[in-house]
Amino acid sequence: MSGESTPPGSSAACDHGGTIVGGAGVADKVAVLGAGAVGGMLGVLLAEAGHEVTLLASDRTSTAINLDGLRLRSGRFGEHHARVPARPWLTAPVDVLFVAVKAPDLLAALGRVAPALVHGAVVAPLLNGVDHVPLLRAAFPGATVVPMTVSVEATRVAPGVIEHVSPFVDYALCGAHADSAPGPLLRSAGLDVDVSAPDEATLLWRKLSFLAPLALLTTHARDALGPARDARPDLLDALVDEAAAAAAAGGAAVDPQGVRERLRGLPAGMRSSMLKDAVAGATLELDAIAGPILRAAPDGAPVTREVVAAISRAA
């Protein structure tokens, strides 16, 4: 973040001044930290729904979005071109902050948000894994951190240009937070929000136990899901079993057979974001996605460990 100005609010306290509108508690002042595939798509849809949205991103990405707007191409939502302000730093209080950066970028990205500007707000992380939640609660002690997950295949093809590839975009939060600001906010933009998870552990591990086998299998094979699962169904089964065992150790009940059925039902051409990052030579979310399994699995997750080692050697 060299060359960027000093973030506002970094030393002085500031009262939260966001406005909650609508009887359902929908927030109208929103910031999205990260303007990649997930953050960019969310920013477009919330802005089109009439919310006051600010994207927080690097100087380069912010400049591109401010000049050319934010574009979304989606088979489900159609084509959208929204004028959404973007800047490197949050400059005013918001009601909701969505955190949509990838795990390796989280610590650096937190410098874009002064804790005083989200005091009293809801911080809704959309990251993969489980370890980011306590980190965010420590970073923003005056905010309410509401963990969420999202399952979607989308790609940032250029700064401010997002392609939504999958037929689905599934958001989830646990039942205890069903009526908190993020749920009504996302629904107002036409997005589905599942609230069936009984607790945060189940919410996060439910996503991870599905994502980790998908990401590790496709990245290890350097191929889309269909060819990868057809070539190594044994490997997929082992990855699913180890993820489910780790989830159980982490206090969440995950049905491995249900995960297998869901993975079998995905489009053959689906490519995980980890695979895309590997092909592009980008930093992989190996620790965020595989790390919790390696640390929690009672048997040490030997198959997952072997796959992670192979991916690391190939990186």
Q: Residue 154 in 3-state DSSP?
A: strand
Per-residue pLDDT of 130-150, as tens digits, reads 999 999 999 999 999 999 999
As annotated, the residues of the chain forming the CATH 1.10.1040.10 domain(s) are 201-314
Per-residue pLDDT of 82-118, as tens digits, reads 999 999 999 999 999 999 999 999 999 999 999 999 9
Q: Is the pTM of this model over 0.75?
A: yes
Q: Which pLDDT score is estimated for 177?
A: 93
State the CATH class of domain 20-196.
alpha beta
User: What pLDDT band is residue 262 in, cutting at 50, 70 and 90?
Assistant: very high
As annotated, the residues of the chain forming the CATH 3.40.50.720 domain(s) are 20-196
Per-residue pLDDT of 163-213, as tens digits, reads 998 888 999 999 999 988 899 999 999 999 999 999 999 999 999 999 999
What is the CATH code of the structural domain delimited by 201-314? 1.10.1040.10
Inter-residue long-range contacts of 15-20, CB under 8 Å, 24+ positions, other chains counted: 15/93, 15/119, 15/120, 16/93, 16/117, 16/118, 16/119, 16/120, 16/121, 16/142, 17/92, 17/93, 18/93, 18/94, 18/95, 18/96, 18/120, 18/121, 19/95, 20/95, 20/181
Q: Which pLDDT score is estimated for 17?
A: 33
Per-residue pLDDT of 214-247, as tens digits, reads 999 999 999 999 999 999 999 999 999 999 999 9
